[in-house]
Chains A and B, each alone.
Chain A
Amino acid sequence: MAMLLLAFTTAAVGALGGLGGAIILVPVLVLSGMPAAHASPLGLLSVASGSLSAGPTQLAERTVHHRLGVTTETAASAGAVAGAFLSGAVGEVFLTRFLALVALAAAAASGLRRDVAGDLIERPADIDLGEERGSLAGTYPVPDGATPYSASRLPAGLAVMSAAGLVAGIAGASGGFIKTPATTEIMGVPIKVAASTTTFTVGITSAAALIVFALHGRIDLGAAAPVILGSLVGGRVGAGLQARVAPALVRAALAVVLVVVAGILFARS
């Protein structure tokens, strides 16, 4: 029951802050005494559950650029598989310190993140949204019409995505706090499209690493069920609360919590 509550709370708060629950869940599990090598797969289960849960809504919104996601994910998944193998080969102290560094990076990303949501207005009926067939381009709506965009600097984007995948495989966090800024700032994709596409891709990254963890017997099935259930429900609750709570406030609080958690992890390691 404690694991269920923890997964639910971290997923809800993570969704509210736009970082996902794993970046809080894994450090809290490590601080509660669980080895980092066992906590990482549970974090990735939380990420995969959140990605699955968000899928139908994002498909209906047509904000996911599947071709961009699949293209960048080839690098990220390779990084995640490598990270999963690496996490089984390095010591607990390294994993804990790496997790602390990831928490610090996520805190910085949370503090610097821009707002995606705003007041909703009715969608113009004559705009065909979504991705273009056969390219990394698409159309995104703005209040006075539609804006075409095209992902650029693909090699640089792929390099960052492979690093994000490596982080996910080692630390059990989604790596989304690296992927979304990289997609907007390096590849020039609108932030809403980048965020939705990242939510789609972190599920694949997690799956690629989780297969390695499963075949190496590193997934605790007793803890997996409450983590999945808590993440599926908590992610939805958190997303639903976004309209009622100021996201900037939550992100600031989340950043502070992550800095404190990182400090404790460093101290304990």
Chain B
Amino acid sequence: MSRPVLSRPVIDLRRSGPFRYARMTAMLGFLIRVAMVAALAGVVLPHPLGTAASAVAVTVVVAAPLLRVAWLAIRWYIRGDRRYAAVAASLLLVAGTGSVLALLTR
């Protein structure tokens, strides 16, 4: 099979109407707003409030991609794509194993 090559001009892929993963998009938009507000609070508020807000921002930024993978795993499992649901679960297992090892070695 020949490799597809992107040539000019390209198609405008942006969509305003409903599209696949619309709920995930809404979830990510919410998490971005939470991270932004928490990070702003972390910048302007004094310790200990600022530190707590900063911790919230870090938690959101770290959790967001893992939540997205968990979402995909559940979505694929429900829709019968068990193979990739298992791959997504394996990815979460890798992150989980890293966490356990970090807990054991700190």
Contacts and interface: CB of A to CB of B under 8 A. Distances in A.
B61 A70 contact: no
Interface in A214-229: 214-217, 219, 221-222, 224-226, 228-229
Interface in B1-56: 1, 3-15, 19-21, 24-25, 28-29, 31-32, 35-36, 38-43, 50-51, 53-55
A226 B39 contact: yes
A38 interface: no
Contact of A207 (B50, B62, B81, B84): B62
Interface stretch (A60-68, A91-99, A253-261): A60-68
B58 A121 contact: no
B43 A226 contact: yes
Given A77-B91, A120-B9, A190-B6, A62 B20 contact: yes
A56 B4 contact: no
A121 B11 contact: yes
Interface residues of A, number: 75
A75 to B, nearest CB: 9
Contact of B12 (A121, A188, A192, A216): A121
Given A56-B28, A70-B72, A208 B94 contact: yes
A133 interface: yes
Interface in B53-106: 53-55, 57-58, 61-66, 68-69, 72, 79, 81, 83-84, 87-88, 90-91, 94-95, 97-99, 101-103, 105-106
B73 to A, nearest CB: 8
Contacts of B90: 74
Interface of A: 4, 45, 48-49, 51-53, 55-57, 59-63, 66-67, 70-71, 73-74, 77-78, 81, 84-85, 116-124, 129-130, 133-134, 140-143, 147-150, 188, 190-192, 200, 203-204, 206-212, 214-217, 219, 221-222, 224-226, 228-229, 232-233
11 contacts: A52-B65, A55-B32, A70-B69, A73-B91, A134-B81, A142-B4, A210-B61, A224-B39, A225-B41, A225-B42, A226-B43
Interface of B: 1, 3-15, 19-21, 24-25, 28-29, 31-32, 35-36, 38-43, 50-51, 53-55, 57-58, 61-66, 68-69, 72, 79, 81, 83-84, 87-88, 90-91, 94-95, 97-99, 101-103, 105-106
Q: Which 4 pairs show the lowest CB-CB distances between chains A and B?
A: A225-B42, A81-B98, A118-B8, A203-B65
